Amino acid sequence: MAETATTEYHLVRDRSRIPEEYKWRLEDIYPTDSAWRQEKASLIQALPSIGGFRGKLASSPDVLFECLDTVSRLSKQFVRLYCYTSMKSDLDTRDSVYAGMEQEISQVGAEFSSVSSFIQPEIIAGFTPETIEAFLKQEPRLADYRHELFDLMRRKEHTGTEGEERILAESGLMADGPSSVYNTFADADFPFPDMVQADGTTLKLDKPSFSLQRASFNREDRKQAFALFFGKINEFRRTFGAQLAAQIKKDYFYMKARRYNSCLEKALDGGNIPTDVYRSLITGVNENLPTFHRYLSLRKRILGVDQLHYYDLYCPLVRDLDLRYTYEEATERILASLSPLGEHYCSVARTALSDRWVDVYPNDGKRSGAYSNGGVYDVHPYMLLNFNGKYDDMSTLTHELGHTMHSYLSNKNQPYPTAHYSIFVAEVASTFNEALLMDFMLKNAPNDDVRLSLLGNELDAIRGTVFRQTQFSEFELMIHEKVEKGESLTGDGLNEMYRDLTRKYYGHDGGVCVVDDVMQSEWAYIPHFYYNFYVYQYATSYTASVDLSGKVLGGDEDTRKRYLELLSSGGSDYPVNLLKRAGVDLTTRGPFDRTMDKMNRIMDEMEAILERS
């Protein structure tokens, strides 16, 4: 394994100095902004045609198909428009031109929802499951809409009248306000502090820099990074609190308008996910906190510190081993790790990593974090990274590549109406890729030090994906339930709730890991709290991928085929059903318990390495 210094492009920050090969080629979507504006004008002109179907949907199968097909075609056009400008904006969140274009297309989206708001109430009022079956027999082209039509019948009691649906659709003009303000403030306008490192150099402690500093081998540097970064965030806790409170109130509004019993029920019902899956995850993690505390104690032992602190959780375990990779080295290892999935999968992945589907390096104003956007159905998915050359960055790359391959295969094998997959399934593909990368890296580890470091990374992945995301999920449930009870959410109140919950998870009172007071504002650093009960799916999907990847790595050809079928299935069925067909049942505790077994086996091996070293 090469332990080379990564290219310095991650330090440049000036986008104009980063080679084009490491940047998105968004011209694949629209060659120019003018072309985007022409397409937007075309969509606006076409939207009124939807109203011509009003009152006619039950008249014949042909009319129903023409209506659904028109909406689907215009939806594909809208999503393409939105993806282009949102991704342009993400490259420099300070650029008001693309922020303005994103607002423009969001307004078009609200109008789109408004003019089509009659469709669901009209279908619910004019159809029964029996009449839908009859229409499907008479008009084969309706087959692409089978799942959508029967899902609409399932959610009948949560669908309003035409007038109610129009109001809810037009409320979309305001719905993204909290998240939009948060993202702009947190990524573009936030006054990030300066930090003087132990070697005397000064840096701007923005999000990419903080990500590097929290993993520093120098304990004083990472301690200072946490104190400065979250200390500055805490100064704005009232503003962040108001933003998050507005988001939760928005969720509450839609819960009441849709006649659900809770925000959780409303959020999960879109994918027909039982709320017991969510609550069982929280219960399971809380019951297994001793396993988590064993991990924390092992980290303390390896680091050789008298007392483990929260700021010690991200630094590499093996002090004299700093695993670093150029982007090219990372892609080489990732592609090698994916070989169990077959040549076609690897061939597409190779194109994705080399043909400007990825925007690789951080630059000033760029959106933090990473994501894959597979919404442009007729082009290809795109991945945003902030690659810093660490193992975590390589792992993030293969994670996002998993999403990209999922989108690519679904878009290629499904018609547009069923191509979009549920978030509940999405994170299986990403964490599956991470498991393959880890297996490859461990098989090629040259010595115990490297193996210990890699196994530590795998434990860190379980901490971050299962325990940390479940902690976030529990916090998210708590704050929604407070609003449902009519209680207030303030920055200070959120600090207190988050601090107490984090200390419970990390065994603060038992001396397992000290959660310093400054960490109470970490909630304001997490954009996923604006995603409406999103993060629990990281944890459930991870447990599913543990099951599936283990079988594939063991040479189970049937599971490999069923897994690729899962990635090609899009949203053609409910996610729980799709996963069952792939061979894993997330309505049971089995996948979670097997993940805990795997975690303990990893710790057993690490302790054995420590004993012989």
The residue from 111, 165, 400, 522 that is catalytic is 400
Residues 59, 137: one domain? yes
Residues 96, 203: one domain? no
Residues 42, 91: one domain? yes
Coil vs helix vs strand at 324: strand
> Domain for residue 112, yes or no?
yes
Predicted pLDDT at 3: 38
Residues 36, 69: one domain? yes
Q: Whole-angstrom Cα distance, residue 77 to residue 46?
A: 11
Asked whether the beta carbons of 391 and 364 are under 8 A apart, the reply is no
The DSSP annotation for 392-433 comes to HHHHHHHHHHHHHHHHHHHHHHS-HHHHPPPHHHHHHHHHHH
Q: Whole-angstrom Cα distance, residue 139 to residue 135?
A: 6
Condensed to tens digits (0 to 9), the pLDDT of residues 503-558 reads: 999 999 999 999 999 999 999 999 999 999 999 999 999 999 999 999 999 999 99
358-359: strand order across its sheet: 358-359, 382-384, 371-373
| Distances from the Cα of 487 to the Cα of 40, 367, 490, angstroms | 42, 33, 10
List alpha helices for 444-574, DSSP H.
448-462, 468-484, 491-505, 536-553, 557-567
| Distances from the Cα of 127 to the Cα of 133, 142, 538, angstroms | 10, 14, 37
Handedness of CA 128, 133, 134, 136 (dihedral sign): positive
Cβ count near 272 (within 10 Å):
16
Residues 50, 104: one domain? yes
Residues 35, 171: one domain? yes
> Domain for residue 432, yes or no?
no
Predicted pLDDT at 14: 83
Predicted pLDDT at 120: 92
Of 305, 605, 596, 297, nearest in space to 467 by CA: 596
Asked whether the beta carbons of 482 and 513 are under 8 A apart, the reply is no
Residue 92 belongs to what domain range?
A: 31-175
> Domain for residue 162, yes or no?
yes
| CB-based burial label for 273 (10 Å; 0-12, 13-18, 19+) | buried
Residues 62, 132: one domain? yes
- Would you give the distance in Å from CA 120 to the centre of its chain? 29
Predicted pLDDT at 455: 93
Pairing of strands 194-196, 202-204: antiparallel
pTM for the model stands at 0.83
> Domain for residue 510, yes or no?
no
Coil vs helix vs strand at 531: coil
Of 90, 42, 3, nearest in space to 386 by CA: 90
Q: Whole-angstrom Cα distance, residue 185 to residue 57?
A: 45
> Domain for residue 65, yes or no?
yes
Q: Which residues of the chain have pLDDT under 70?
A: 1-12, 320-321
| Distances from the Cα of 66 to the Cα of 56, 63, 130, 132, 256, angstroms | 11, 5, 20, 15, 33
State phi, psi for 206 to the nearest 5 degrees: -85, -170
Condensed to tens digits (0 to 9), the pLDDT of residues 23-37 reads: 999 999 999 999 999
Residues 95, 135: one domain? yes
Residues 112, 72: one domain? yes
> Domain for residue 115, yes or no?
yes
> Domain for residue 90, yes or no?
yes
Torsion region of 358: left, alpha or beta (phi above 0 gives left; psi -120 to 50 gives alpha): beta
Residues 88, 223: one domain? no
Domain containing residue 104: CATH number: 1.20.140.70
Q: Whole-angstrom Cα distance, residue 309 to residue 322?
A: 21
Residues 201, 152: one domain? no
User: Active site includes 164?
Assistant: no
Pairing of strands 358-359, 382-384: parallel
Q: Whole-angstrom Cα distance, residue 392 to residue 381?
A: 22
> Domain for residue 216, yes or no?
yes
Domain containing residue 200: CATH number: 1.10.287.830
- Would you give the distance in Å from CA 456 to the centre of its chain? 23
Predicted pLDDT at 165: 82
Residues 40, 122: one domain? yes
Q: Which two tokens stand for residue 335?
A: 């592609």
Q: What is the number of structural domains in the chain?
A: 2
